[in-house]
Amino acid sequence: MAAMGRSNRADRGTGRGRTAAQPQPAATGPGGRTHAQGPLSRPVGSGLAELRPDRDRPAAWSLLIDGAPQSMVDLADPSHLGFEYQRRLGHLIDLAAPPGRPLTVLHLGGGALTLARYVAATRPRSRQQVAEIDTALTELIRTELPLERGWQIKVRGADARSVLERTPEGSVDLVITDVFSGARTPAHCTTVEFAALAARALAPGGWYAANIADGSALPFARSQIATLGAVFPELCLVADPAVLRGKRFGNLILAAAHTPLPIADLTRRVATDPTLARVEHGRPLTDFAAGAVPATDTTATPSPLPPPTAFS
């Protein structure tokens, strides 16, 4: 959930690059917390949660946990993805099936439920399950930033891996992992065994996608590429070139599948974004991860702590 990069402020409200179905209007308007009520801070299981009004969008709110930006929700337009890492995951959601076709999605990590809202808005009748261990955070989000009636989104207050272990084989079209404890991904959600559980849950032709964070020499990202490569034959990575060069700490999106990924379409969509990014796959991705060792349940460590300046 932690968003190390910039929000897509330059593209707010434009919807550039989207070909998915238009969101369905809320039956009773956006509802929920209004900007007139001001920001809100409340202790939750994972730390101090803050909801801050967005200065450019009158129904939008950013969620922070202990000062780390997690996600942004626009109650009036749930198809808007304000953080660059969520926009890149949105491209994968758009390409997972023809526009408007419902999907069955498992979200590991919920936060403000931004991506679940996006799927529900752009792909009506989709069935979604969210694993979010912080039940106090979920209660806060449901109260202050409520979901629209009719959306088929079930939130389970449980550990992401435990929910994945109980997911029936071949039952979901898309598994999205966005699991952070504070600003770090827990070790048990970064292993070959975890990836194998995700592969087991996927229906034929399904995709796995993950948001991770790393910096400097990118040892964690390289290990995650090797880890997914031990389970899935098809991989790609999307990230800011500055992050790939180790110039700054930031988010990287990994996608994996047993069938070829739509690299050309993904590259075109990423090129429409207001923030620069590269799509790596094939030999360049293999070379990028050369020498990295897959993480296992006995060797894995959490993702690295971001530097003190990551959120400044």
Annotate 69-131 with DSSP letters as a single string. EEEEEETT-TT---BHHHHHHHHHHHHSSSTT---EEEEE--TT-HHHHHHHHHSTT-EEEEE
CA–CA distance, 186 with 177 (Å, rounded to integer): 11
- Confirm whether pTM is higher than 0.75: yes
Strand bridging mode 172-177 / 104-108: parallel
Question: What is the per-residue pLDDT for 5?
Answer: 46
CA–CA distance, 282 with 234 (Å, rounded to integer): 8
Q: Fill in the amino acid letter for 264.
A: A
Question: What is the per-residue pLDDT for 2?
Answer: 63
For the chain, which residues score pLDDT lower than 50? Answer: 5-29
Residues 238 and 253 sit within 8 Å (Cβ to Cβ): yes
Nearest Cα to 92, choosing from 235, 196, 231? 235
* Residue ranges of domains in the chain, CATH in brackets: 9-288 (3.40.50.150)
Q: Give start and end residues of each alpha helix (H) in the chain.
A: 84-95, 114-122, 135-144, 160-166, 192-201, 219-229, 241-244, 263-271, 282-288
- What does the block give as tokens for 29? 């308007």
CA–CA distance, 156 with 138 (Å, rounded to integer): 9
CA–CA distance, 257 with 247 (Å, rounded to integer): 29
Question: What is the per-residue pLDDT for 30?
Answer: 66
Question: What is the per-residue pLDDT for 28?
Answer: 41
Sheet holding 202-214, edge to edge: 152-156, 127-131, 104-108, 172-177, 202-214, 250-257, 234-239, 278-281
Instruction: Tell me if residue 285 falls in helix, strand or coil.
Output: helix
Question: What is the per-residue pLDDT for 308?
Answer: 81
Residues 152 and 126 sit within 8 Å (Cβ to Cβ): yes
CA geometry: angle 310, 311, 312, nearest 5 deg: 100
In DSSP terms, which residues pair with 304 in a beta bridge?
Answer: none
Residues 145 and 75 sit within 8 Å (Cβ to Cβ): yes
Question: What is the per-residue pLDDT for 271?
Answer: 97
Mean pLDDT of the chain: 91
Strand bridging mode 202-214 / 172-177: parallel
Question: What is the per-residue pLDDT for 147?
Answer: 97
CA distances from 53 to 7, 64, 68, 168 (A): 14, 11, 15, 39
Question: What is the per-residue pLDDT for 21?
Answer: 43
